[in-house]
Amino acid sequence: MTYRFMKINITKYLFAVLLLCLAACTPSLPEKYETINELPSLYPDYIDVTIPCNIAPLTFEIKNDASEYVTRLSYANSEIILGGKEVQPSLKDWQELLSVAAGKEIKVEVFTCENESWKSYKPFSYFVSSDTIDQYISYRLIPPSYVCYEMLSINQRNLSNYDEDVIYNNMLAASEDKGQCINCHAYKNYRTDNMQFHMRQYKGGTLFVHNGEAVKLNMNTDSTLSAGVYPAFNPVYDVVAYSVNKTGQIFHTKHSNKVEVQDLYSDIILYNPVANVVTNVVNDTTDLEVFPWWSPDGRMLYYGSAHFEKIDSTKERMAEEVIRYREIKYDILRRSWNPETFEFGEADTVFAATKLGKSATFPRVSPDSRYLLFALGEYGCFHVWHNDADLYLQDLQTGDYWPLTESNSPHAESYHSWSSNSRWILFSSRRDDTNYTRLYIAHISPEGKPSKAFVLPQKSPNFYPLFDRSYNVPEFMVEPVKFTPHQFAEIACGDETKVKYSVNGM
């Protein structure tokens, strides 16, 4: 009996100690503190950002020196109180807070303690938009390299938490001595039953999923400049537009842009997966066409186009392009397309960047057909390497255009995509350290007003500074890719289907 009594007592004591420990570990707000009129220094900078109501918890590190930290996130009667330099709300608490704060502001207060004296920084807000964001995004993870490549993967991320999966990793089919480059993943209408990505060199081809069936395509034909490069699925009809490019890379000896990616020649082709044929849409030697994109009704094809004519007969075209690289500037054009006859209309200039002495590429029309989002820089088409490149929006109803000043940075912004509800944009930016592209998300109001962009949240706030990959070609999706990486690898290693050329594309 004595033994039993003692045992119970010990258990009770242990339980009490545990509770005390828990209580000691649970942070509480300081009772006394000095209020200072200064915002805390955070990494990543999530101060006063607009976030979707279904986003994963924003985690950040407080960069101000202190011995103790307490952070409170609150809306009305709901709050999360967290201790420590690294602020990492739990998924459950965060989702509960977002659910009550949708359409409102979450107040964020940071308290720090130094020499037993607490201070409270100026509070800031998360503006929680009731506009939801598509649940998935996909991107290629690639070192910010120039010519070499080794391990590359196309990944998908669930935006409402931190889950990330590999869609395809080139090492599943390649090896160190037989390299395979993978690129240009694209989807039809944000869904994954119709999607594609390219594999270059070893076991090269285009991995094309058509109505849920995956094949490996060889898109090279004698009548087209190259195999398909930059893709655009028609959101309504069963066709895919591609630019075809002869591309080269050359390096700045001094400039921080580091590298120029130039097209020696480029055209646009149309692929009809039902007939398995391609046809030329634009095929000339003096105009360079790139980055096609369809209007939401599927009847208008947008693309970037630059006019370049050789003037020096003593030089090869490439050599001349290298010397005159700053003269190559792109406008955004569009052509109507008749889905019955597969015929394209004449080119019509949508945004005449060259008249402004600029170069506009990567046209993306919002799914509500209202806005055209593009990247504008001084020259060239590959703005992801141009520090001066910024995102611009054009109202397709009025023709007015403006920079997304609140979302842009002094460094390269490019490779943007619209969410399916036209309220969010996702783009890559080199603003963090000028060399590694990170994904940023910004809200676009129905009036075309951008919000301050925020970096894709990660579980650890210190993820990006040590992560040695760039995020490339971000795309929204409303569902995950259903094939496993190993199924894709099996198809990549299998036989290819040769695409034929047809004059009318049918």
Partner 1 sequence: MKQTSDNCAIFSSEYSKKANKRQSSFIIAFFVVLWALLSFYEHSQLVRVDAQSLFLFDENFFYNMMKSPAGLLAYAGCFLMQFFYYPALGATIFVLLLVAQFFLVKKVFSIPKEYSLLALVPSVLLVATNTQLGYLIYYIKHPGWYYVALLGIITVLLAIWLYRKLSFPASLFFILLWVSVGFPLFGMFAWFAAICMGAISLSKIFEKDGRNSIMRGVLPITFALLLSIVVPILYYYQYTTVSIENIHLSALPVYHLSIGSKTFKSTIIPYWVPFAILFLYILFLSLYSNRIKAITEKKHTIYMLLLAIIQLGFLYEYWYKDANFRIENQQDLAMWQEDWQKVADYARDAELPSRQIVLNKNIALLCLGKAGSEMFAYPDGSSEIDAPMNVHLTHTGGLMTYYSYGRFNFCYRWCVENAVEHGWKVEYLKHSVRCMLLSGEYAVAERYINILKHTLFHKSWAEDYEKFLNKEELIKKNPEFKLPLQMYFYPDVLDVDESFVEVYLLKNIPSYLYSDTPPLYAEAALMSVLTRKDRKMFWNTLVAYLSGRKVSRLPIHYQEAVVLYSNLDRNVDASQIPIDEAVRMRFSSFMKRAKQFKGQKEEEIAHHFKEDFGDTYWYFYFFVRGIKSN
Distance, first Cα to last Cα, the chain:
91
Q: Which of 358, 431 has the CB closer to partner 1?
A: 431
Q: What is the per-residue DSSP string for 413-469?
A: EEEEEE-TTSSEEEEEE-TTTSSS-EEEEEEB-TT-PBPPPEEPP-SSTTHHHH---
> Binding residues for partner 1, how many (CB under 8 A)?
49
Give the nearest distance from C-beta 444 to partner 1 in angstroms: 27
SS3 139: strand
**Contact stretch for partner 1 (CB under 8 A) within 85-93, 183-191, 244-252, 285-293:** 244-252
**Is residue 148 a contact residue for partner 1 (CB under 8 A)?**
yes
**Is residue 84 a contact residue for partner 1 (CB under 8 A)?**
no
**Is residue 149 a contact residue for partner 1 (CB under 8 A)?**
yes
**Is residue 312 a contact residue for partner 1 (CB under 8 A)?**
no
Q: Which two tokens stand for residue 121?
A: 């920084």
Give the nearest distance from C-beta 145 to partner 1 in angstroms: 4
**3-class secondary structure for 148-179?**
CCCCCEEEEEECCCCCEEEEEEHHHCCCCCCC
- Degrees, nearest 5: CA angle 340-342-344: 120
- What is the DSSP code (8-state) at residue 58? P
Q: Which two tokens stand for residue 423?
A: 């309220």
**Is residue 254 a contact residue for partner 1 (CB under 8 A)?**
yes
**Is residue 498 a contact residue for partner 1 (CB under 8 A)?**
no
Give the nearest distance from C-beta 250 to partner 1 in angstroms: 4
* Residue 299 φ/ψ, nearest 5 degrees: -115, 5
**Is residue 449 a contact residue for partner 1 (CB under 8 A)?**
no
**Is residue 436 a contact residue for partner 1 (CB under 8 A)?**
yes
User: Could you give the CA distance from residue 214 to residue 350 in angstroms, rounded to a whole number?
Assistant: 35
User: Could you give the CA distance from residue 240 to residue 231 in angstroms, rounded to a whole number?
Assistant: 7
**Is residue 322 a contact residue for partner 1 (CB under 8 A)?**
yes
Q: Which of 9, 460 has the CB closer to partner 1?
A: 460
Q: Of 101, 241, 489, 491, which lies in the binding site for partner 1, with binding defined by CB under 8 A?
A: 489
Residue 20 burial class via C-beta count within 10 angstroms: exposed 0-12, middle 13-18, buried 19 and up: exposed
Give the nearest distance from C-beta 340 to partner 1 in angstroms: 43
Q: Which of 39, 259 has the CB closer to partner 1?
A: 259
Q: Which of 7, 486 has the CB closer to partner 1?
A: 486
Site for partner 1 in 156-185 (CB under 8 A): 166, 168-169, 171-179
Give the nearest distance from C-beta 167 to partner 1 in angstroms: 9
Do 138 and 163 form a contact (C-beta atoms < 8 A)? no
Do 477 and 137 form a contact (C-beta atoms < 8 A)? yes
Q: Which of 123, 143 has the CB closer to partner 1?
A: 143
Catalog residues that contact partner 1 under the rule CB under 8 A. Answer: 143-151, 153, 166, 168-169, 171-179, 250-256, 258-260, 322, 325, 432-436, 460, 463, 465-468, 484-486, 489
